[in-house]
Amino acid sequence: MKQRMISIIIVGARGRMGTTLIREVMGSDDLTLGACVDRSGGPGIGQDAGRLAGRPDTGVLVTDELKPRRGSVVVDFSLPKATATNVRACVEHGIPLIIGTTGLSEDDDKLLAEAGESIPVVYAANFSVGITLLLQLAGIAAAALGPQWEAELFELHHRFKRDAPSGTALRIGQAVAEASGRKFSEVALTDRSTLGRPRTSEEIGVFGLRGGDSPGEHTLMFLGEGERIELTHRAGDRAIFARGALRAARWAAAQPPGLYDMFDVLGLAE
Ligand code: NAD
């Protein structure tokens, strides 16, 4: 029997993630490139998506307007200012949305929750399978160790990343806080330079380093008396995020409406 092909619409197509997604879709057996969208007036508009990604021509030209089509899944890795328009377009056309853009506002979060009432939405600050497991391990460790083991985490990303600390680092901090009965917004610390006091046992330090070309490294430390646990994930290649997002797209194509994350996609949700 012929496999059903899923058409993928990539938003942010000219970006680092967009071009990686184009290559991954072109290399897959069950996905086709439905459309590629980028910012109006940007340099990639009108170019062939394959050429943009350093591959042969595909016949799909990059456009500046998202027109979701039935049977497609939209995969959006662009910028927060584009999120609201893209979410509304997917809702209007009843098309599943995979969203990887980080640094979203509270209003965007609300919009995603509302969109989940009518379409499948998968939102993850990090689509890597390894990070999804790290999040789960962070929760297990925090619950077992308790707040006497002080939690600190740092992340490193390439020089171009705009938001800091990374969405993933904040998500890891949140997993630690939730598993040990703390409210992350009350205990998160991203700058100690003006505090002028020692740390409290409750606080969770989250710090971002920027430079070079790393697609993302996260280290979570639990610091105890005379011993320390470190959980580290290193992304060697941003294709891991693209593969995770496309795994989510295949999964979302067959789901009822809802706001999902990678735990749902991997079957790890409670
Ligand atoms: P990038 O700057 O290389 O690419 C962003 C692209 O979005 C650019 O081509 C830009 O022109 C385009 N864009 C801007 N405004 C737009 C609009 N209104 N409509 C359509 N396209 C628009 O950035 P990147 O490194 O590819 O990352 C993109 C986003 O994905 C960032 O928010 C980044 O933090 C996030 N990211 C998420 C994950 C994850 O796993 N969730 C992994 C890597 C990156």
Question: pLDDT by residue (tens digit) across 240-265?
Answer: 999 999 999 999 999 999 999 999 99
**In a domain? residue 1:** no
The yes-or-no verdict on residue 7 having pLDDT over 90 is yes
Calculate how far, in angstroms, residue 78's C-alpha sits from the geometric centre of ligand 1: 3
Q: Which residue range is the domain that position 248 belongs to?
A: 6-123+238-265
Ligand 1 lining (C-beta closer than 6 Å): 11-12, 14-18, 37-39, 42, 77-79, 82, 100-103, 124-127, 238, 241
Q: Residues in the chain, how many? A: 270
Cα 157 to middle of ligand 1, angstroms: 14
- 225 and 135 belong to one structural domain: yes
Helix (H/G/I), strand (E/B), else coil: 55: coil
Q: What is the per-residue DSSP string for 110-143?
A: HHHHHHTTTSEEEE-S---HHHHHHHHHHHHHHH
Helix 16-26 vs helix 239-252: crossing angle, to nearest 10? 60
Looking at the fold, whether 71 and 154 belong to one and the same domain comes out as no
Closest ligand 1 atom number to CA of residue 80: 32
Torsion of CA 184, 186, 192, 196, to 10 degrees: -150
Asked if residue 224 and residue 137 are part of one domain, the reply reads yes
Residue 16 CA, ligand 1 centroid: distance in Å:
7
Residue 218 lies inside a defined structural domain of this protein: yes
Number of domains in the chain: 2
- The pair of three-digit structure tokens given for residue 188, joined into one six-digit string: 């998160």
| 172, 224: one domain | yes
Stated pTM of the model: 0.87
The predicted-structure confidence for 149-198, as pLDDT tens digits, reads as follows 999 999 999 999 988 999 899 999 999 999 999 999 999 999 999 999 99
What is the CA 115 to chain-centroid distance, rounded?
17
CATH number at 158 reads 3.30.360.10
Cβ distance 220 to 230 under 8 Å?
yes
Q: Examine the domain organization and report whether 190 and 146 are in the same domain.
A: yes
Exactly one of 67, 93, 157, 183 is catalytic; name it: 157
Within a domain: 137: yes
Quick: pLDDT tens for 87-100.
999 999 999 999 99
Is 161 marked active-site? yes
Annotated binding site for NADP(+): 55
Contact assessment for residue 76 and residue 66, using Cβ atoms and an 8 Å cutoff: no
Residues 3-30, mean pLDDT to the nearest whole number: 95
